[in-house]
Amino acid sequence: MTEPKKIKKPRGKARLIEGKCIACGARCESSCPVNCIVMNDAGEPIVNESACIGCLKCIKICPAQAIEMFFTPEEQQLLHQLAAEGSSTPAVEEEDPEARALAEKLSRYRGVWVFIEQTEGVPATVSWELLGKGRELADTLGVTLSAVVLGEQVENLCHEAFAYGAEQAYLIDSPVLRHYRTEPYLKCMCTLVDKYHPEVILMGATGLGRDLAGAVATVMQTGLTADCTGLAIDDKRNLMQTRPAFGGNIMATIMCDKFRPQMATVRPHVMPMTDHKQSAIGTIISEPCLVQEDDILVKVLEILNDKNKDHVDIAGAEFIVSGGRGMMGQENFSLLHDLANELGGVVGASRSAVDAGWMPQERQVGQTGKTVRPKIYIACGISGAIQHLVGMQDSDIIIAINRDKEAPIFEVATYGIVGDLFQIVPAITNRLRDLKQLKARS
């Protein structure tokens, strides 16, 4: 007895659609199970058609829909034939048992959490920024947004969290949590995660947040993406975590599709601040603290504050006006101070200005000084030696003012102004003042 010979469904070959590739960074290459895709110098794929098995993986992963399946005319004929037959016998897609188990495991995790960071009761603003983003994610997922508050006498922060969009707050209030120490915070976080199974946890990429997030991810055996600049949800409820990679040359979207919770940290000022709704209310879920003081090896004896009154943190500033040798003298830095004041920023300096004694060492930007990444960096009279560039080239916007149009600073500048800074800087300052006055009047 012989079965009637089945017609094999042609699977086709992957083919690049000319001109659509965005050179995303070889995602198709890495997705190909038979290694039949290699990248050319321009970062576009070259498909070895004879080796392609038509698995569609590259097509699915391509962010620009630049790959299509290609069928020979004979194969197309077969496809038509099959389509005609198929209408009578609908094909049932077979479900992979592995995928099913995974989906089941993942479905146990629901809800978006934001860790509310506080130091001696003072919350970090990045937490409120994250609640804004968390609200968006929770809405997309159709789940609740929760704040996680750990500390001593910090219940007020739960109410603050509601005002910034959280629906509920998990609170562990204990003297053990008074000062941040990795061990008790880690244990409390893990207890909460084990009990409530959130699918997303967001933390601020601060010193504290980076420490805690890494520890939690390690214990929970899940993934963590640090310093995300974008967060979104894909059609399978996965968190798409976008961050710059390879020195900012590409943006990588990182997924954690097989493990939960999905964890991400975000730097301060990356996500916009949300509105504060005083009237908002929510549920506080208080949990006991299971950590005993005696079990913790690290003791906080004393907190020494390194911030003196005149201390200016240029590394954290959003606007920096920097001066170099072109400033000609210490007295001229008042021009920069004026501009910085108008912008609400601070004054930085290049090494030569520091060396000349025009500015203190703590204001130095560059290889041997501070690395800064403000929203706007204005470089005045700085030629842009590599030692300086590496300290500021990651700023969002760089405005360079220099009389030498060949100065290397212009290679990294978003906007370059060739001219005399002693005219240009006051002109900008005055214009800002005028604009502010206009705004105030209207």
Partner 1 sequence: MTVNPILFAIMLSAALLFFTWNLWKRYGLIRLGRPDDRFDNIPTRLQEMFLYAFAQKRVLAKPFGLNHAVIFWTFLILLGANGTFILEGLIPGFSLEHLLPASAYQLVMFLFDAASLLALLCVIIAVGRRIFFKPSYLDSRYVKGQSFEGFLILSFIAMLMLAFFVMNGALIAVMGESRQFMPVSSFVAKLLATGPLHDQLFQTAQFAWWLHALVLIAFICFLPLSKHMHIITAIPNCFFKRLDKSTMLPREDFTPGNSFGVAKVTDFTWKDLLDSFSCTECGRCQDACPAQTTGKSLNPRQVIHTLKTNLLANEQRIRSGASPVLPLIGPEGEGSNTEETIWDCTTCGACLTQCPVLIEQMPKIIQMRRHLVEMEARFPEELLNLFENMEQRSNPWGIAPSERTKWTGTLDVKPFVAGETEYLFYVGCAGAFDSRSKHVTVALATLLDAAGITWGILGKEEKCCGDSLRRLGNEYLFDTMARENIELFRSRGITKIITQCPHCFSTLANDYRQYGIELEVTHHSALLAELLASGRLKVTKQSDIFGKTLYHDSCYLGRHNDIYAAPRQVIGAATGTSPSEFVRNQENAFCCGAGGGRMWLEEHDGERINLNRAKEAVDAGADTVCVACPYCMTMFEDGLKDANNETVSVRDIAEIVAEGLRSPDQNQR
Q: In terms of CB distance, is 133 or 267 closer to partner 1?
A: 267
Query: With contact defined as beta carbons under 8 Å apart, do 127 and 154 qualify?
Result: no
Closest to partner 1 by CB, 247 or 272 = 247
Per-residue binding letters, 371-410, with partner 1 (x by CB under 8 A): x------------xxxx-xx-----------------x--
Bridge partner list, 105: none
Among 29-37, 128-136, 308-316, 367-375, the segment contacting partner 1 (CB under 8 A): 367-375
Q: Provide, rounded to whole angstroms, the least separation between the CB of residue 370 and partner 1.
A: 10
224-243 per-residue burial string, b: 16 or more CB within 10 A, e: under 16:
bbbebeebebeeebbbbbbb
420 lies in the site for partner 1, by CB under 8 A: no
φ, ψ dihedrals at 299, nearest 5°: -115, 140
- Is residue 247 at the binding interface for partner 1, with CB under 8 A as the rule? yes
Looking up tokens 């048992």 gives 97
Residue 228 near residue 129, CB atoms below 8 Å = no
Would you count residue 329 as binding partner 1 (CB under 8 A)? no
Site for partner 1 contains 89 (CB under 8 A): no
Does the protein bind partner 1 through residue 210 (CB under 8 A)?
no
Cβ atoms of 210 and 126 within 8 Å: the answer is no
Cα separation, 395 vs 184, whole angstroms: 36
Which CB contacts under 8 angstroms, 24+ apart, belong to 297-305? 297/183, 298/181, 298/182, 298/183, 300/178, 300/179, 300/181, 303/120, 303/179
Residue closer to partner 1 (CB basis): 268 or 408 = 408
Nearer to partner 1, 262 or 350 (CB): 350
Run of H or E including 228: strand 224-228
**Contact with partner 1 (CB under 8 A) among 63, 175, 248, 288:** 248
Site for partner 1 in 254-313 (CB under 8 A): none
Q: Which residue, 159 or 325, is less far from partner 1 as judged by CB? A: 325
Smallest Cα–Cα separation from 154: which of 190, 185, 131, 200? 185
DSSP 8-state secondary structure symbol assigned to residue 142: T
User: Going residue by residue from 145 to 184, which x/- string records binding to partner 1, judged by CB under 8 A?
Assistant: ----------------------------------------
Identify which of residues 165 and 391 has a Cβ nearer to partner 1 in the complex.
Answer: 391
Site string for partner 1, 4-23 (x = CB under 8 A): --------------------
CB of 53 to partner 1, least distance (A): 32
Supply the minimum distance, in Å, between the C-beta of residue 413 and partner 1. 13
Regarding 357 and contact with partner 1 (CB under 8 A), the answer is no
Contacts of range 249-258, beta carbons closer than 8 Å, 24 or more positions apart: 250/24, 250/25, 252/25, 253/63, 254/223, 254/225, 256/222, 256/223, 256/225, 258/102
Residue from 325, 337, 375, 403 touching partner 1 (CB under 8 A): that is 325
331 lies in the binding site for partner 1 (CB under 8 A):
no
Q: How many CB atoms lie within 10 A of CB 74?
A: 9
Is residue 41 at the binding interface for partner 1, with CB under 8 A as the rule? no
Which strands form 239-245's sheet, in the order they lie side by side? 230-233, 239-245, 250-254
Q: How many residues bind partner 1 (CB under 8 A)?
A: 21
Least distance (Å) between residue 245 CB and partner 1: 10
User: Which of the 8 DSSP states describes residue 177?
Assistant: G
What's the CA gap between 296 and 280, in Å, rounded? 37
Is 352 near partner 1 (CB under 8 A)? yes
Window of 1-9, 148-156, 292-300, 361-369 that interacts with partner 1 by CB under 8 A: 361-369
Task: Kindly list the residues in this chain that would bind partner 1 in the complex (CB under 8 A).
Answer: 246-249, 325, 351-352, 355-356, 361, 367-368, 371, 384-387, 389-390, 408, 411
